[in-house]
């Protein structure tokens, strides 16, 4: 099970633009 912090980090990263 992911910790809340991991989940939050994953969520923030998922919203960032991908490398061009």
User: Residues in the site for other proteins, rule: CB under 8 A?
Assistant: 2, 4-5, 7-8, 10-17, 19-20
Nearest distance from C-beta of residue 10 to other proteins, angstroms = 8
**Spatial separation of the C-alpha atoms in residues 18 and 3, rounded to whole Å:** 24
Q: How far is the CB of 9 from other proteins (least distance, A)?
A: 9
How is residue 15 written in tokens?
Answer: 């919203």
Task: Extract the tokens encoding 9.
Answer: 């980090």
Please give the Cα distance from 13 to 1 (Å, whole number): 19
Q: Least separation, in Å, of the C-beta of 1 and other proteins? A: 9
């Amino acid at each position: 099970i992911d910790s809340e912090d991991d989940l939050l980090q994953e969520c923030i990263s998922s919203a960032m633009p991908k490398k061009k």
